[in-house]
Structure 1
Amino acid sequence: MSSLHSPALWDVRRLPRADGKNVLVTGGNAGIGYFVAEQLAGTGATVILAGRDTAKAQAAQVSIRARVPGAHVRHIRLDLADLSSLQASADALRPQRLDAVVCNAGVLLDQPPRRETRDGNELMFATNHLGHFALISLLTPLLMATPGSRVVTTGSFTAKSESLDLDDLQSTRDYRPKRTYARSKLAQMLFGFELDRRLRAAGSTTLSVIIHPGGALDSLTPSRPPVRVRTRGERLRGLPAGLLLQGKEAAAWPAVRAVLDPSVRGGQLWGPRVFGIRGLPALEPVQGHLADTVLAARLWTASAGLTGLDPSTNLT
């Protein structure tokens, strides 16, 4: 069987049970992250929603429990743009076992001006990449102590056509929001691949898997009150786009498979089957910048310098 085909049958509507497992989903209170959390809660797993907004997290819990009776779901506060706050977020998980972390949260700015965090880092790069890099650094001991645990890093298909400028990671020159976003997602994906290489070198059973959700629109996404309600007008306007794209419920499938499927291996890239933008989750080739091990290692060193943390220190 080709390595680019799913190694096993997978039914997105009949997921395997995951009772007793704990999964942290960053940004699990809205968008794709919400549907990742809802689908995982349906397997019996305990799902921890990690996000800044307590009210939104409470709304997400109400919605999940309405659809999944008896769901085990809770919230911890997490602000990926504030590096100094991450230790408290990590501490809120202990001493529980941690079977998976889905690095899903992200920010996309549509227009200038360029914005910085309190640490002086460009906001999208800081939130999407550096915050997750630092969070995984802090959670590595817990992940390493849980046999077969997984780190699932959410990239973007837009990152595949982008390149990373190691001399301008903060986009201080020629700032273009969409390009900066794509570069931040490329950095996330490179981190995921490099993490798996280092986990393998350390002999760890923890896996690092990289996914991307394809193209997802709110107009194609089913309502989940009180999180979000799709109007009839939105649904009708979105019908033509449904020929090419999908809703956020379907966009969650690659991440859910990466968490649950026993046939998934570290260092793999999963995305939607149809042209990488919609459909059932399937394996994709790792090529181009994503396969650049030198670039990934240099990014790792730069990220450790910017965050003051390094997952490698806890891998032995």
Structure 2
Amino acid sequence: MTLDALDWRLMNDWQRALPLVSRPFDEIARRLDTSEACIIERLQKLLETGAISRIGATCRPNTLAASTLAAVAAPEGQIEEIAAVINAQEGVNHSYERENKWNIWFVATGPTRAFVDDILRRITQQTGLRVLDLRLERPFNVDLGFALDGSNALPQPRAVDMDIRIEASDRAIMQALSEGMTPTACPFADLAARLGQTEAEVLERVRVLAQSGILSRIGLIVRHRALGWRANAMCVFNVPPDEVEACGLALTAVQGVTLCYERRAVPGVWPYTLYCMIHGRSRAETLDVLSQARVAARLVPYEYRVLFSTRCFRQQGALIVAPSSKTSGESHAD
């Protein structure tokens, strides 16, 4: 794909801060000294070419819905077959092949923890394989944004305010944003029409959810692999419990590190508790960032593994509302 300076500026600068106004692309156009029509045309092109997967939002894990990271050890020669079984489950929104005995990794999402448990149970039944259920214990940064110009580290995560009143429409709004908005002059009005609400109602709730930290970011969801960042690695560390917080917070300050969180270990099988993602254009670049991160976060003494992604099977938004309720705009409490 051929991308110019305006395309890169759009993708780099508008991953997290889509203006929460009636005509967000008009406001972006004014800041970039161009026209609203030009921005909409560029966004449509970026969607069609796969440079971005959607224009939408991400929901902080285990707030409005449930999720877990999981893995199976697929026998050689059956990877595609087993990946197909996994991806057939509604609620599996990310899945990758990675370099490890545990070679298919996926994220299972759903409106409740019971819904997620059912996904894992069906996968076990249909494949005959053990599924590692690596539940989130503590997020240090789950922003999912990525500086394409390499100029800045991740922003510090906003604290989540779960004391806000969750309204009946919030899950439906987040589900629609998870699936993505159309690049039109008034995307929030279009989204509101789909949900049977007014634009003002939707914008007000999106602002509240963003301010609370439940909506972790809203903007362009970039496909890193399509843009040249193909040497992506999940790095896992076996860190003593009393060191996890300090190490995790230090990792979020390292340029090149994207996601960072603590997950539950599986005793005797998978001892790793601290995770981060590193995106690079080459394996050497990714490993260089890892070396810097291990020193900066004082992780050198601890056992670790580097799991490079070799294939992306699926990458889409999370399932927040039960499938039978998505078309009606209903939502269910956890």
Normalised-by-shorter TM-score class? under 0.3
Of structures 1 and 2, the one scoring higher in RCO (CA 8 A, sep 6+) is: 2
Query: Quick check: which one's helix share is greater?
Result: 1
| Higher Rg | 2
User: Could you state the TM-score of these two structures normalised by the residue count of structure 2?
Assistant: 0.25
User: Could you state the TM-score of these two structures normalised by the residue count of structure 1?
Assistant: 0.25
